[in-house]
Amino acid sequence: MNQFEGRVAVITGAASGLGREFANTAAGLGMKLVLGDVDAAALERATDELQAGGAEVLSMVVDVRKCAHVEELADAAMIRFHCVHLVFNNAGVGAGGLVWENSEADWEWVLGVNLWGVIHGVRVFTNMMLECARRDPGYEGHIVNTASMAGLLNPPAMGAYNVSKHAVVSLTESLYHDLRLVDAPIAASVLCPYFVPTDIDRSYRHRPHELEHEGAPTASQQAAQALLSKAVRSGKVSAADVSRITFEAIREGRFYIYSHPQALDGVAERMNAIVHGTQPADPYAATPQMTQMLKAGLTEQLFR
């Protein structure tokens, strides 16, 4: 996609972090904005700021775990703007800890937002975009799903998050192949950021009541939370950088989008282990201090 001005961008998780920066970049390119987020107050602030800068904005409080909410967002976009061109299925949450210590509620929340949110977005918006393409021979569309480097690696004490993000990579590759199969004028990309300073380490702020964490967090959950905060807060690539990199990839029609290409060494080692049938490679081989930090928080659980 090369033309942005006057076209319509839909962004979930638009009130903070990467989503907020996608909105800034899209507005700067003259796009009309459809913003969805579960955080009503932050969404209202983002909407006011973007409108004050001259952007045309439709925003709606949505919980992407719920298909009906995503459908309402899509319907409202069509009523207001008659078409959508660029869709960011971006809303996501983080939760860590040893994989056997994640509760059913942890899994339901993380998979609900990170995976089901993207499934709903792909199902609802792709059908809508195909309809737009049938009506307009010059139509161009692009769907960007936010996964993570944790969709290509499996770092320890992040099991539920890893599973959700691997599934998003798989879903987006499947979407890519299916769109090509029918020669649709719609491109797809998967964004795989490494640690970027946003509020992802405060994801618990939007955890729904019915899926609240039961009891105190375990040692592994505390260690994983501390590691996530440290890694995210000390990230050198900003959310604005990731947005710029993402829009470059959209222009160039690139599928895989990376914020930290140097982290791909770990992916190559993982793939080598898969192909050669060796034990899984250490995802933190290049940053052993990350493993040490986790282990330091788990002294009572180490079997040695």
Ligand X SMILES: NC(=O)c1ccc[n+]([C@@H]2O[C@H](COP(=O)([O-])OP(=O)(O)OC[C@H]3O[C@@H](n4cnc5c(N)ncnc54)[C@H](O)[C@@H]3O)[C@@H](O)[C@H]2O)c1
Q: Catalytic amino acids? A: 161
Which position has the token pair 């330091």? Answer: 296
* 108-119 burial code (b ≥16 CB/10 A, e <16): bbbbbbbbbbbb
DSSP H helices in the chain: 17-28, 40-52, 67-81, 104-111, 117-135, 159-181, 219-233, 239-252, 264-276, 288-296
To 10 degrees, the CA torsion angle through 212, 62, 257, 54? -130
Least Å distance, CB 228 to ligand X, is 8
Is 198:232 a contact under the CB 8 Å cutoff? yes
Looking at the Cβ atoms of 136 and 212, the one nearer to ligand X is 212
Is 36:91 a contact under the CB 8 Å cutoff? yes
Looking at the Cβ atoms of 30 and 287, the one nearer to ligand X is 287
Report which DSSP code applies to 236.
S
SS3 59: strand
| Residue 205 buriedness (CB in 10 A; 0-12 / 13-18 / 19+) | exposed
Looking at the Cβ atoms of 118 and 132, the one nearer to ligand X is 118
Amino acid at the residue 123: R
Q: Would you tell me which residues interact with ligand X (CB under 6 A)?
A: 12-13, 15-19, 37-39, 42, 62-65, 90-93, 113, 146, 148, 193, 195-196, 198-200, 203, 206, 232
Is 148:165 a contact under the CB 8 Å cutoff? yes
Query: Is the torsion defined by CA of 120, 126, 129, 130 positive or negative?
Result: negative
Looking at the Cβ atoms of 12 and 225, the one nearer to ligand X is 12
Least Å distance, CB 12 to ligand X, is 6
Amino acid at the residue 38: V
To 10 degrees, the CA torsion angle through 58, 16, 265, 169? -40
